[in-house]
Chains A and B, each alone.
Chain A
């Protein structure tokens, strides 16, 4: 079956702009979670959506938001971009919520200039 699809793969934005990233989970998976990966902070949990509801949120400012649609596709939005938001943004989907078997996408590489 198809894997987790993240679009776009690469993105360059200017400080102050906003950006929307998309994640299409594996068919049938209801859980979608987002992570930010930077060289300095490593992999950090942003938030998780399950059946269109945000169930868990990491320690990120309110500029980071997300949503999930009825078909389980998810988007995350970052407003008022800062240079420090440059990172690899990863999405993971799962059919359970027990910590195992999550499938990650290849990520979106965001560069803020």
Chain B
């Protein structure tokens, strides 16, 4: 699975958009980008995933660059409850990969009032 690079920490004002970058310059053509987050003392929570097209769901938007070497997770209107560690994960989605997820160090997002 490709390695990812994320900034260790970011701050965001409540109500503003939070844009979390992730670099995955060695990504392969069949690897997806996944985002999970972990709020303190809880298990990680799936947010969104994508292959090459931009994706949006009720939680967030995922913007993947055309060359797929980087992506940005966007929380459109951050709230205090969005304070968490955000993990960007790249892996192949095939049956033999199973559910294995390789977590890096992630980005600690702090939403300030």
Contacts and interface: CB of A to CB of B under 8 A. Distances in A.
Interface of A: 4, 31, 33, 35, 42-45, 48, 50, 55-56, 58, 90-92, 94, 97-107
B98 to A, nearest CB: 4
A99 B93 contact: yes
A58 B96 CA distance: 14
B102 A45 contact: yes
Contact of A102 (B42, B46, B102, B104): B46
Contact of B99 (A44, A90, A102): A102
A106 B99 contact: no
Contacts, number: 76
Interface in B36-50: 38, 41-46, 49
Tell me if A's interface is mostly helix, strand, loop or mixed: strand
Interface of B: 32, 34, 38, 41-46, 49, 87, 89, 91, 93-105
Contacts of B46: 100-103
A50 B98 contact: yes
A35 to B, nearest CB: 8
18 contacts: A4-B43, A31-B99, A35-B101, A43-B44, A48-B98, A56-B97, A90-B44, A97-B97, A97-B98, A98-B32, A98-B93, A99-B91, A99-B93, A99-B101, A102-B99, A102-B101, A105-B43, A106-B41
A99 B89 contact: yes
Contact of B43 (A42, A56, A92): A92
